[in-house]
Every structure is written in C-alpha cells, then in structure tokens.
A and B are shown apart, each in its own frame.
Chain A
Amino acid sequence: MTATLEKADDQKPSSSWKDRSELGICALLAVLGVLVLVDAIRIPTDFAQRGPVGPKAVPILVGGLLLLTAALLVRDVLRGGRGEAEGGEDIDLTAPSDWRTVLLLSASFLANAALIGVVGFPISGAILFWGAAYALGSRNFVRDPLIAAALSIVTFVLFNNLLGVPLPGGPLMEVL
C-alpha cells in the first residue's frame, strides 16, 4: 500500500478537516458496502436457485471487501497517505476547487435532462451548451448562443435524420 504524498501536506496542520477530506471517500465506500450487504441479505434464496452458489454470494463478497477497503483507506489517510489528484493539460492543481463553476455546469447539465422531454433536444441541447460555456467563463453574448443553437440543430438533424438515432424534436421541429 504505497502512499502518495502531496507536497503541501508538510506545511498545513495535518489535523485540519480540509486536509483529510479524503475520508469522505472512505465513508462513501463504507456506505456502499453496507448498502450492498443489506440488499444482498434481503434476496430470497429458497426458490429459483440453480447450483450451490446463489445470487447472494458475490454481493456479500463485494460488500465485505468494500468495508475492508474503506478501513484500509482510513488507515492510509490517517498515516498521511494522499490520493494523487489527476493532472492534465487544462488542469491547474495548485488552484483551489472552483465550486461555482462546477455547480453552474451541473445545473446546465441537469437542465437538459429536465427539459429534453418538454421542449425537445434542439432547445434543451442549446441551453446545455450555452449554460456550460457560460459556466466555464465564456461571456460572448452574441457568439455563444449562436454556436449553441447551430450545434444543437445540426446535431439533431445529423443524428435523427442521417444516422438513424432518434432524438426528441419537441415543438420547434414540429413547426419547421
């Protein structure tokens, strides 16, 4: 269990919650483990079982291992191990997390899910693209919506009419 240490750890007091936010992942694993175990126990096995190993065995194994891994990860984090955040071409690992951008981005994404059945893909897709571009810092109020509208109408026609992948047109496409 090789622990990866981040440079910043030495400067900060290691007891702060922010520094140990990785324990949240341990909690997630533990909750998942309990969920899998509880769900596995309620599976009825008295009927429909074929062979010596029923539908319960693997979930119980996975659930148990989830709890074990959660415990091991807690031990690793408390001993100072830190997961190495993934780097990338557009990622600035020294910057603090920008939650406003993430929330705006999530909102545009979920807006598409909520609206796609009501107003159709050409409109909801455009909202998604414009909203996401806005969230990420694009502020061109002429070009952004134009690109969003063009992209989502072209995509709709391309998939729905050319590639044979149906998307909901909504009222807009009924008018056209």
Chain B
Amino acid sequence: MDSFTQLIDGFGTALTPLHLLLAAVGVLLGTFIGVLPGIGPAMAVALLLPVTYGLDPTAALIMFAGIYYGGMFGGSTTSILLNTPGETAAVMTAIEGNQMAKRGRGAQALAAAAMGHFVGAMIGTIGLVLLAPVIAGLAVDIGAPDYFAIMVLAFIAVTSVLGSSRVRGFASLLIGLTIGLIGLDEMTGQARLTFGSLELADGIDIVIVAVGLFAVGESLWIASRLRHNTDEPIPVGRPWLSRDDLKRTWKPWLRGPLIGFPFGAIPAGGAEIPTFLSYVTEKRLSKHKEEWGSGAIEGVAGPESTASASASGTLVTMLTLGLPTTATAAVMLAAFQQYGLQPGPQLFERESTLVWGLIASLFIGTLLLLVLNLPLAPVWAKLLKIPRPYLYAGILFFASVGAYAVSGQVMDLILLFVIGVLGFAMRRYGLPILPAIIGVILGPAAELQMRRALQLSDGSFAGLVNTAFSVTVYAIVLVILLWPVVRRFTKKPEHERQPVG
C-alpha cells in the first residue's frame, strides 16, 4: 500500500493549478507537433525539450509527460488520415485505419484509436504503478556487473532484434558510442576525442545529438527526396462510436495492454512486435473476418491500445533501470539528464515526490488527451494540409532554437549541423538511428559500470560475471547473437543471402 499513498501524494503534486495547466499545454503541444506529417513522437519530444528549460524539474517533467503521450497519440491521426505512419508503432493502425477513413468511417477510426490510447495508457500506467516500485526495489541491490550486463543486453537487443541488417545496426551503435566518448573521462578526467577544444571537453549535449539525428537529419533526408505530389488527407468530422462499434472494440482495447505492456517493459522492447501480435490476434478472434483489409475497427482498436500500453511499459525500464528501449524513451531519458536527474533504482527513493508526481500526471495527461482531442480532431486533421516547405523549414527553425537554448553557443549549432549530416547519411544507407542514440546515452554509463566492476575484482574479467543475474543476462545475449546461426541450419540457405555479381 506504500506505493498507493505515494501515488495519492503524487496527485497532490500534479493537481496544483499550475501543474494542471502545464500538463494540458503539454498534451496540446505534443499532439500538435505529433500530428504534423513527417514528425514522429521521438522528434516531437526532442523538438519540444527546450520549451521546458526554464521550468523547475517537477513542472518540466509533468509538462513532458503530456508531450510524450500527446506526441504518441498525434501519430495515430496522421496514419489513419494520410496512411503514412510516422513511426513503427503506428504501422499496424494505418492498415485498417486508413481503409476505414477511405470508406467514410474516419471518425470511427479516430474514436477507436483515441479510446484505445486511453484504455491502453490507463492500464499501462496502472501496471507501471504496480511494477516499477517492485523492480526498483529489486534493482537497488544489483551491482556494477549486473548493470553492465543489462546495458550490453540493451546494445545487442537494439542492434539485432530490430532492423533488417545486423552489421548496419552495429555500425550505428558504434557511431553512437564514439560520440559518447567525446569529452573528459568521468573517472580520471582525461580528455578524449576533444582535439584540444574546450567546448568539446564537456562532451556533446545529448539534446544536440537527439535533435541533430532526428530533426535535422530527417529534414535533410526528406529535402533530398521530397515528394512533390503529396496525398490529400481525408477530411473527417467529430469522432464517435455507435453501439455496434463499441461492441466490437471493447475487447480489443482490453486485450491490447496484455500484449503491449510486457513487451514494452522488457529491455528488448519497442512497439513493433506487440502491435503486430495484437493485429494478428484480433484478426484471428474477429467475428467480421470479411472486413479485414478493407477497414476492420478491431484492427485499429487493438494495436492502438497495445502501442500506448507498451509506451507505459517502456517507462518502467526507463525509470527504474535507466534503460531506454525506444527512441522516444531515449529522448525522455535525455530530458531527465538535462535536469541532473539519473533514472535508476535510486530515483524512486531520492526523488520520490518528483517520480510520483510524474506518474500521477501520466494519468491526468491520458484523461486530458481524451477530453481535449475528441472535440479537436477535425482541427488536428486540418494540420495535415500544411505546405511541406513550411513544415520542414519550421522543423529546422525549432531544432536550431532548441540546440542554441542548451547553452547559448554557436558551436552547438555547428555540431547540430554535423550530426544532422550524419543522420542524413545514416538514413540514406539504411543505418538505423535508434542504436546510435542508445549508444550515446548508455555508452558512458556502461563504461563506468564496467570499470567499477573490474576495479572491485582487481582487473579480473571474472568480476563481470560473478553474479547469477549477470550470467543469466549474458546467456540471453548469447541466444540473441547466435539466433541467425541457428536459423541458418534450420532454414534453406538461399533465403539467407543472394550475392549479386
């Protein structure tokens, strides 16, 4: 019951008029930016970081919670009305959702998505309340070798489980780790990769890296291949659901979190796999199988609820272990670090007011999202018509504002550009962005934990595997690494690779 009283206290923190206003502004801003075509939730969150710089940490994170859920929700509107998912979590929603919109049921698709989001986030956040203190309690006792093992797992998982090419995933991770090395070594104060520059001695601010890779890189990449005949978004009225629709959607809404939350909470998470599983499950259980492929409402309700519950699950690992498993969570972690807060098991003890205020505002943000966005949906739909030159010029404009606001240095704008060009090249040649950002964020922490572990064991590598926990984690890492080798023996070889020339 301890976490229950703390949650009540959290509501006390979140329900002050100022904090409530900030949560509402966060939800609106997050949805506004998230709806804009071409802007996924990670970029939305990264672009809106500077808005919170002037606030105190609690107020800033409460606003951020609103931005986070708002940005996630905004993406579903884009995928339904434009058939263009801004991120992997919305791919499944787009399949049936866009078909519904084309057949004049866009309002129902949006309503099913909005309610799915609400149900998924509510159940997911309840899961967070129940699970996070338990994990934080367990994790307080784990030591440096265990932390290092978890981080190795995170590195291997983002490079091997997601994405189509492992070698490109590793290349991206290594680029991230290299950026993370820049600056003074935390333990000895030795300068690394600074080339005598004072600005680089502090390392490159994580916000610059995130905004550069996501916003600037994306804008440059899109500019090089801009589609000039953009699809017209489908106009839509106020979302509503008939009694018959409700009958078909309530079960998918409730099943979504069962699939989404656990997947979000494991360090190899992401919303890609659970939304796919939800789509397949709902299709199998549906009584209206003939509608699938031409706009089945279950195909919107299930995956949306799954995606938002998985976003809550991601917060469990992010808050209790300091491990981000999605790009959006990585940017959230950057926001914490911006305020000198280090997510991890100690966060729940040291910053309990802040954490529970944040969790309470997740509930409030979810409710606000539903209350504000159902009536506003037609307005959001109009945003999809924004001329593309203004959209991408605006992204570059706000990216510059954000980078400059970090420390008021022109050097940061130049770094932003260089990292943007890197992001452009990575998109062009199929290097995934997520491993790089995880590498930048977790690299320095992983090095610190590894050196601590080796310090305790006097340099013996046994110090890295001297706990049952770390051995288990390395076993999982090994399974992930060896999986393709195992598959090669069980599958026909010509499916694996087709050499050309």
Contacts and interface: CB of A to CB of B under 8 A. Distances in A.
Contacts of B246: none
Most buried by B among A5, A39, A89: A89
Given A84-B430, A89-B78, A151 B222 contact: no
Given A138-B387, A163-B51, A52 B459 contact: yes
A106 B220 contact: yes
B181 A79 contact: no
Interface string A45-76: 00011111111011100100110011011001
Contacts of A92: 225-228
Nearest to B499: A79
Nearest to A163: B54
A129 B227 CA distance: 20
* Main secondary structure on B side of the interface with A: helix
Interface residues of B, number: 88
Contact of A1 (B165, B178, B222, B397): B165
B181 A85 contact: no
A159 B400 contact: no
A109 to B, nearest CB: 6
Interface stretch (B120-128, B263-271, B358-366, B448-456): B448-456
Interface in B178-229: 178, 181, 185, 187-193, 195, 216, 218-228
A52 B458 contact: yes
A99 interface: yes
Interface string A79-111: 111111110111111010111011001101110
A10 interface: yes
A106 B454 CA distance: 45
A105 B230 CA distance: 20
Given A88-B84, A167-B401, A25 B171 contact: yes
Interface size class, chain A: 35 or more
B396 A101 contact: no
Contacts of A166: 405, 408
B226 A5 contact: no
A159 B78 contact: no
Given A51-B451, A88-B84, A138-B389, A2 B165 contact: yes
Contact of A125 (B86, B175, B400): B400
A18 to B, nearest CB: 13
A88 B174 contact: no
B188 A112 contact: no
Contacts of B78: 89
Contacts of A135: 223, 389
B188 A50 contact: yes
B82 interface: yes
Contacts of B221: 86, 91
Interface string B449-470: 0111011001100000000000
Given A39-B192, A59-B192, A89-B84, 17 more contacts: A1-B497, A3-B498, A22-B429, A36-B193, A52-B454, A52-B455, A53-B451, A55-B185, A62-B177, A70-B171, A73-B167, A79-B500, A88-B222, A89-B230, A114-B410, A134-B389, A135-B223
Interface of A: 1-5, 9-10, 14-15, 22, 24-25, 28-29, 32, 35-36, 39-40, 43-44, 48-55, 57-59, 62, 65-66, 69-70, 72-73, 76, 79-86, 88-93, 95, 97-99, 101-102, 105-106, 108-110, 112-114, 116-117, 121, 125, 128-138, 147, 151-152, 155, 159, 163-168
